[in-house]
Structure 1
């Protein structure tokens, strides 16, 4: 598997694999174009030389383009070869992921809560008939973006404090568990309240508000 993955990286990025690190330098460079030597002064590379900066900028831009094209093609090759999508994560450094994916968990949690509130009638004083179960749970989509986003969403108790009582029992219990004893807002309908009255009674000590939604 490692050998196959290595060959994919070589073919799509145009760079030698790490497995070739022990090979003679001449053997490696024989298959890849050498980079023009940087301008030197007194035997040292002049990092401030205009030619060096221009050359470095061009080379960096070229590498970025290759990496972008390579990521797309590599993902397709992984899928065609039968590898799981998760395998790609091991070969794509974190630094190459979109900037939003590199936000700290605290910022991501704040963004996720804003998204949840934007789809919850508990925070949007509008006609409750516009809010059904699907809309109240729509913020869950963030957990499917990446492993990091999923981990942040699952580990933030505040994100699970708006409980959709109109959902299936398993989902309601999941919210109650992940909210970790924090104060709750309950989204309910008359039918859901009757159905889950025992849950409401058992958690009455931490319920701050009720908001009616469409069943």
Structure 2
């Protein structure tokens, strides 16, 4: 499994602590093996004798109570991506939602023919943040997968993502980079803030048989058309 999350809605805590505790893209072949203490309040240790008030305090008007669930802000419906296409490379893959595996990295389908969207991060319709889609570069069952071609994508190439309601979102590739796993900026890939963008991730570089994973990540960043 190749990815670690930097934060999620209702999932593992975000931020540097979560990122530092996990490994980045540790294997792309499916067969390859903060807080601070609260200070003590000064008032808790201060000893004082109440001073009689010259005048009684003004009466506090009663606060009307209401069910907190009434009038609560409804949560927007999240429509997951179900398909990703990079026409220039002949990539056309189904996409499934994925969360976090028991080991703490991002769960991925066993096959290299299916990509995964990090379901606790932004979706394509989100007004900000990184929509992250990842896939194995290869697998024992299917061999080399479509995302192996990402290293050849050119800046300006189109990427099309289709969501569950049939809406298509078109992006333009900003850049493609190969990053050593030990220096990968994972927090940026899982970011919930900043300009909306699409991040496609797979593995690359040499395969280290001793540790069972590739040395690098291949990462494509694409911006919404017109964004």
Give the TM-score category using the shorter length.
under 0.3
TM-score (norm: length of structure 2): 0.19
Q: Which has the larger radius of gyration?
A: 1
Larger strand proportion of the pair: 2
TM-score (norm: length of structure 1): 0.19
Higher relative contact order (CA 8 A, sep 6+): 2
